[in-house]
Copies of this chain bind each other. A is one copy, B any other.
Amino acid sequence: MFNRVTIIGLGLIGGSIGLALRREKMAKQIAGYDLGQGVSERARKIGAIDDAYESVADAVSGSELVILATPVGAVRTLLQAIAPVLTQGTVVTDVSSTKSQVISWAEEFLPPTISFVGGHPMAGKEVSGVEVADPDLFKDCIYCLTPTTRTRSTAVSKVAALVETLGARVRFLEPAEHDGLVAGVSHLPFLVSTTLMSTVADDPTWGDAALLASSGFRDTTRLAAGNPEMYRDICLTNSAAIVRWLDTYVAKLSDLRDQIAMHDRNIDEDFTKAQQQRQQWQVTQQSGK
């Protein structure tokens, strides 16, 4: 059990972590801070935190574990802000979608007495805000942790205990490895989806086409509804890996374009292979649950 845990950023993820910690009685006190007007007060009312703070410094003071549950763009400034006031031995973790950049900031700003363990829960919803927080959000999800050779094992154990409390499954990865993998299965799908949306909707025929768009279009463009600032931060902090995936993707799509232009009758071989890959992935997904 933790004595005092601080959650900074009380949206869907931060709020859900707070609710789970409370329900599992894993912290004597949960302190919370959020920049947004009235957010930490609402988080307190729904039971995601015990105490709402007006200042980051007060919120993290004396805490054993500090969880940064903000978009990755806010992490740099937050690390700078809390570095001078953290209690010796505090463990800091985050939940953001890219890890290498966050870890280099942690190494730059945090004193050697503070341990940082990068984290990334593979969970989320289309909706956001503490109002939709759910203590079961992370149940059976993969939760990546990216300790480095400089991370103390006691710090890793504390964050792994947090993950276990959430009902999620820890997966240890190198930060760069993590960033390469999620660039493929998470960041690339967003870029593919948002570009599909704008390609079709920027066209003069969109007024007529919109009426014909059906469930396939709906699913393929769902990610385009995601938070623009969050994805901007992801692009800024994981640029190299994303560009590598985009280059592979565009090369494949250009080959397909040429096959279609040439009326290649064997084009279904590619479709069949992708269909099988999709079916196999679904089987793995279901058996993993």
| Residues of A near any B CB (own CB < 8 A) | 122-124, 141-142, 144, 171, 173, 177, 180-182, 184-186, 188-201, 203, 205, 208-226, 228-229, 231-232, 235-236, 239, 242-243, 245-250, 252-254, 256-257, 259-261, 263, 265, 267-275, 277-279, 281-282, 284-285, 288
In the assembled complex, the Cα of A249 lies from the Cα of B200 at a distance in Å of 9
Q: Which residue of chain B lies nearest to A240 when distances are taken between CB atoms in the complex?
A: B261
Question: Which B residues are CB-close (under 8 A) to A190?
Answer: 216
Query: Do residues A263 and B288 form an inter-chain contact, with CB atoms below 8 A?
Result: no
Question: Which B residues are CB-close (under 8 A) to A277?
Answer: 197-198, 201, 224
Copies in the complex: 2
Q: Which residue of chain B lies nearest to A266 when distances are taken between CB atoms in the complex?
A: B232
Contact of A239 among B188, B213, B260, B272 (CB under 8 A): B260
Query: Do residues B236 and A265 form an inter-chain contact, with CB atoms below 8 A?
Result: yes
Question: Which B residues are CB-close (under 8 A) to A224?
Answer: 271, 274-275, 277-278
Contact of A273 among B181, B198, B219 (CB under 8 A): B198
**Shortest Cβ distance from A132 into chain B, in angstroms?**
15
Q: List 21 A-B contacts (CB under 8 A).
A: A122-B214, A142-B211, A177-B208, A181-B212, A184-B205, A185-B200, A185-B209, A185-B210, A191-B256, A194-B270, A195-B274, A196-B249, A201-B281, A203-B248, A216-B222, A219-B219, A222-B278, A224-B277, A228-B272, A235-B260, A236-B263
Query: Do residues A267 and B232 form an inter-chain contact, with CB atoms below 8 A?
Result: yes
Query: Do residues B216 and A223 form an inter-chain contact, with CB atoms below 8 A?
Result: yes
Query: Do residues A249 and B195 form an inter-chain contact, with CB atoms below 8 A?
Result: yes
